[in-house]
Amino acid sequence: MNVRSNKKHRVFETTLKLIAEHGLHNTPMSLVSKRSGISTGAIYHHFESKEVLINELYLFVKQEIMNNIFDDVTAELNYKESFHKIWSNYFHYLIKNQDILSFVEQCSISPIIKEQTRMEAQKLAIPLIDFITEGTQKNFLINNEIELILAIINGNVITVAKLHISKLLPINKEIENKAIQTSWKGLSQ
């Protein structure tokens, strides 16, 4: 990463942390500047506006998630095992990166994320869509619309991660496995 993207990266990290801590509604640019050690002017050199920063950050974290969920999903695993691995990777990524979970959820339906951004974010999910498509074609998964299956898996992972974070039900390996079983049982043939 060069100096330029390094700076963007620092702004991303700081913004993520602050929004998780103070909320989307309560994170001034001045605080992002102070905490990141980058002047407001420099931030605005990299991002046209706060809205653009948030939207770019949204795409960035969506990409980061995708970069992590296929870890150790090798050719040796069968479909069910791969499903299990991806679900688990995704889940552990979220609970290790609670700022990201918090940010993505605050944005999930907020008008701050523009239609264009949501469309681009959808494109980032293509590897996951391919995986699901494969599952339906080979009759591992029920023959539902791909978007529905994707949404349900995504929703399940996030739901369980939020449950863990809320401390209402700390998720240990056993409960995690139950949750994955529930997802798989609902969606498999």
By the rule CB under 8 A, 22 interacts with its own copies: yes
Question: How big is the site for DNA, counted in residues (CB under 7 A)?
Answer: 20
- Please identify, using beta-carbon distances, which residue of 12 and 140 lies nearer to DNA: 12
- Please identify, using beta-carbon distances, which residue of 32 and 101 lies nearer to its own copies: 101
- Please identify, using beta-carbon distances, which residue of 60 and 79 lies nearer to DNA: 60
Residue of 26, 149, 163 lying closest to 94 (CA atoms)? 163
Site string for its own copies, 118-157 (x = CB under 8 A): x---x-------------------x-xx-xx--xx-xxx-
Q: Residue 49: which of DNA, its own copies, none does it interact with, CB under 5 to 8 A by kind?
A: DNA
- Please identify, using beta-carbon distances, which residue of 30 and 139 lies nearer to DNA: 30
Rounded Cα gap, residues 95 and 159, in angstroms: 11
Least distance CB 56 / DNA (angstroms): 13
Least distance CB 110 / its own copies (angstroms): 5
Rounded Cα gap, residues 106 and 163, in angstroms: 16
By the rule CB under 8 A, 28 interacts with its own copies: no
Residues that bind its own copies (CB under 8 A): 20-26, 101-102, 105-106, 108-112, 118, 122, 142, 144-145, 147-148, 151-152, 154-156, 158-160, 162-163, 165-166, 168-169, 175, 178-179, 182-187
